[in-house]
């Protein structure tokens, strides 16, 4: 073992630890790897920056833009509203239609916006069917994953592998080549979910439902501390603003600045304005307190006993709030909303949650007036999830242009008129030039952190190849196989082992990172045992996408995790059998379609 191989193995282990621990974001980990690889001399600068020529990240970014255009023109909304008519059908039928319709859309655009649009509709469908939303949301995520496995552009994982395959000079992956394995998996997965979902899926309560009915009907009020008030010098509780009286102090504004101290310990001063959340009886009590006046009665305007509502919001994948705490964002001042709870990884975080940096998939229980909540509908940072969204305005001309552009990408790639990346870029130019999507909106839809993650992991994969680390790892795997596997069964056993390793890594890491790491190893392994690399390449694509057993392996799983009130074990219980089903189908279909 050379020092270069040892260093690459250390970097690989460090990357795995960093991905699992989540102390820093995956893209920062990948960029750090890129930097260390160059500074240590494992790759020259020219070699390291050669990964920027890989077309995969550009194609992934272009598909994000086309997905945003499809959402904006109302195409997905049209399909989503059709689901609303399924409430009178049997659960088995609803599940089949939900899985198949979601998969059909996810086969051609990015999975996350599909799930984001469908979630409010599915929640409303669950209420109409009088069933817990947890019976529907995991199937929605799984359907998006299964649909993405059916085409080249259905998931970024396939595009990453396709870019590496092209760089190695191997025959390019076809647009519908994955359908040979993706469609059988989709059919089996749809039947499994429809038959076993009702029994295996939990009856969980959404986070907002944990708030009692009486607590949901509250009023936002503001009171003013006038000069000479007996409340001056007292804490809010001493002034009579008590939770037992149905009053909560949400904010104290002094000299036009919202105080960040412990509000319960603040000594009030003349001129202070207090924002209160009051139950109906609390409003009357606040009005009767000596030394505190409603701002409306003082001619100060603002909020005065307006009925508020509770709403669940989720932090989106491109949210500017990621990495910032509720206190830093100052929802009260900028959005006229007050965060009441933060739900993450299946649990409510204990106070003070307002200092916790937000992450993608976090659920915020917010309180505000109806106008303030309605303003969130157009937000890219927080997405409403507990009420159906307003459908996008459908413009027939733009709808035809966007659908035609995406169809053009599919046809151009299928018949080799243009490469997939060139066809995708051309489609983006068309939707921008025709006004279907503004360039700013398109760039905001791109998950730039994902692109940097891919570039960083491509550099690590190249370092593994250049230093001989790939051959080193493959030799150890082959040595282990030679001890227990007859030569005539070596290929199929190695294929199964590679699927299992890739699948396990995908359940705990980013699927794109796993694809970038495992594809060079797959090509090297096939060369070492003297078989065609195509079966192993396809295995990486499928195993790195078919992530069902954990809520962290795939972005859509993370998205529905908090919304449905799920626990980690819920994904293990229903996802592990589906992983096994996909493994069996892969080991039967792949050698038959792509022989060794």
Same fold, 209-304 and 307-384: yes
pLDDT of residue 313: 84
Q: Any idea how long the chain is?
A: 596
- For residues 457 and 18, what is the distance between their CA atoms, to the nearest angstrom? 13
Q: What are phi and psi of 580, to 5 degrees?
A: -65, -40
pLDDT of residue 128: 84
Helices (H) and strands (E) in the chain, counts: 25, 10
Q: For strand 347-348 and strand 382-384, is the pairing parallel, antiparallel, or unpaired?
A: unpaired
Q: Is 96 left (phi over 0), alpha (psi -120 to 50) or beta?
A: alpha
User: Hey, what are 194's tokens?
Assistant: 């429809």
User: Hey, what are 39's tokens?
Assistant: 């500074």
| β-bridge partners, 273 | 224, 253
- pTM of the shown model: 0.78
Contact between residue 292 and residue 286 where contact means Cβ atoms under 8 Å apart: yes
Residue by residue, pLDDT tens for the chain (596 residues) are: 788 999 999 998 898 888 877 788 888 999 999 999 999 999 999 999 998 888 888 999 999 899 888 888 877 777 767 776 777 788 999 999 999 999 999 999 888 888 877 887 888 888 888 888 889 999 999 999 999 999 999 998 999 999 999 888 899 999 999 999 999 999 999 999 999 988 999 886 655 444 444 444 456 667 888 888 888 888 888 888 877 677 778 788 888 787 877 777 888 888 888 887 776 556 666 666 777 776 544 444 444 445 566 777 888 777 888 888 888 887 877 777 778 778 777 676 766 677 888 888 888 877 777 777 777 776 778 877 755 554 455 567 888 999 999 999 999 988 888 999 999 999 999 999 999 999 998 998 888 888 998 899 899 989 988 898 888 888 888 887 777 778 778 889 999 999 999 998 888 877 888 898 899 999 998 988 889 999 999 999 999 998 899 887 788 888 888 788 788 889 999 999 999 999 999 999 999 999 98
Non-local CB neighbours of 388 within 8 Å, separated by 6+ positions? 84, 120, 121, 123, 124
| Closest-CA residue to 497 (of 461, 539, 538) | 539
Residue 3, classified by CB atoms within 10 Å of its CB into exposed (0-12), middle (13-18) or buried (19+), is exposed
3-state secondary structure labels for all residues of 188-214: HHHHHHHHHHHHHCCCCCCHHHHCCHH
Residue 198, classified by CB atoms within 10 Å of its CB into exposed (0-12), middle (13-18) or buried (19+), is middle
Q: Is 221 left (phi over 0), alpha (psi -120 to 50) or beta?
A: beta
Query: Helix or strand or coil: residue 585?
Result: helix
Assign domain 307-384 to a CATH class: alpha beta
- For residues 404 and 283, what is the distance between their CA atoms, to the nearest angstrom? 57
pLDDT of residue 295: 57
| Closest-CA residue to 381 (of 323, 451, 439, 452) | 323
Assign domain 209-304 to a CATH class: alpha beta
Contact between residue 220 and residue 368 where contact means Cβ atoms under 8 Å apart: yes
Count other Cβ atoms within 10 Å, centred on residue 421: 24
Contact between residue 512 and residue 156 where contact means Cβ atoms under 8 Å apart: yes
Domain chopping of the chain, boundaries? 6-206+406-593, 209-304, 307-384
Count other Cβ atoms within 10 Å, centred on residue 297: 11
| β-bridge partners, 314 | 363, 383
């Amino acid at each position: 073992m050379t020092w270069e191989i040892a260093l690459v193995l250390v970097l690989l282990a460090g990357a795995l630890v960093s991905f699992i621990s989540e102390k820093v974001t995956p893209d920062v980990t990948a960029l750090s790897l890129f930097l260390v690889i160059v500074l240590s001399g494992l790759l020259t600068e020219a070699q390291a920056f050669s990964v920027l020529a890989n077309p995969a990240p550009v194609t992934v970014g272009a598909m994000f833009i086309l997905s945003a255009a499809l959402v904006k023109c109302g195409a997905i909304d049209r399909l989503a509203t059709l689901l609303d008519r399924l409430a009178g059908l049997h659960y088995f039928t609803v599940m089949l239609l939900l899985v198949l319709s979601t998969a059909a859309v996810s086969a051609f655009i990015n999975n996350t916006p599909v799930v984001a649009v469908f979630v409010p509709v599915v929640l409303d469908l669950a209420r109409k069917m009088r069933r817990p939303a947890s019976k529907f949301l995991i199937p929605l995520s799984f359907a998006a994953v299964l649909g993405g496995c059916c085409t080249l552009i259905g998931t970024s994982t396939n595009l990453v592998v396709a870019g590496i395959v092209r760089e190695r000079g191997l025959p390019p992956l076809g647009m519908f080549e994955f359908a040979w394995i993706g469609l059988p998996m989709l059919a089996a997965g749809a039947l499994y979910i429809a038959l076993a979902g009702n029994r295996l899926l939990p009856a969980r309560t959404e986070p907002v439902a944990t708030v009692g009915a009486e607590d949901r009907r509250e009023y936002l009020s503001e009171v003013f501390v006038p000069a000479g008030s007996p409340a001056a010098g007292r804490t809010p509780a001493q002034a009579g603003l008590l939770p037992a009286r149905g009053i909560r102090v949400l904010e104290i504004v002094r000299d036009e600045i919202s105080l960040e101290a412990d509000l319960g310990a603040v000594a009030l001063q003349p001129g202070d304005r207090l924002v209160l959340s009051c139950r109906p009886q609390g409003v009357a009590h606040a009005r009767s307190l000596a030394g505190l006046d409603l701002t409306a009665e003082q001619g100060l305007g603002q909020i005065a006993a307006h009925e508020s509502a509770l709403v669940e919001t989720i932090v989106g994948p491109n949210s500017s709030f990621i990495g910032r705490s509720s206190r830093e964002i100052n929802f009260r001042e900028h959005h006229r909303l007050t965060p009441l709870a933060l739900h993450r990884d299946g649990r409510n975080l204990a106070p003070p949650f307002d200092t916790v940096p937000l992450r993608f998939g976090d659920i915020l229980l917010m309180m505000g007036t109806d106008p303030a909540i309605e303003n969130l509908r157009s937000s890219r940072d927080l997405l409403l999830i507990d009420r159906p969204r307003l459908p996008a305005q459908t413009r027939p001309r733009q709808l035809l242009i966007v659908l035609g552009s995406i169809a053009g990408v599919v046809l151009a790639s299928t018949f080799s008129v243009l490469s997939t990346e060139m066809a995708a870029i051309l489609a983006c130019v068309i939707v921008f030039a025709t006004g279907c999507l503004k360039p700013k909106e398109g760039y905001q839809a791109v998950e730039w952190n994902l692109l940097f993650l891919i570039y960083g992991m491509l550099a690590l994969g190249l370092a593994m190849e250049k230093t001989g680390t790939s051959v080193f790892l493959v030799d150890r795997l082959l040595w282990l196989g030679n001890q227990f596997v007859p030569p005539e069964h070596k290929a199929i056993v190695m294929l199964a082992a590679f699927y299992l390793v890739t699948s396990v890594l995908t359940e705990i890491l980013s699927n794109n990172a796993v694809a970038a790491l495992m594809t060079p190893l797959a090509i090297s392994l096939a060369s070492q045992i003297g078989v065609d690399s195509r079966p192993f390449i396809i295995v990486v694509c499928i195993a790195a996408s078919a992530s069902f057993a954990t809520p962290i392996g795939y972005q859509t799983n993370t998205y529905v995790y908090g919304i449905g009130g799920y626990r980690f074990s819920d994904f293990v219980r229903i996802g592990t059998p589906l992983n096994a089903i996909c493994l069996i189908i892969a080991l039967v279909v792949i050698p038959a379609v792509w022989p060794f």
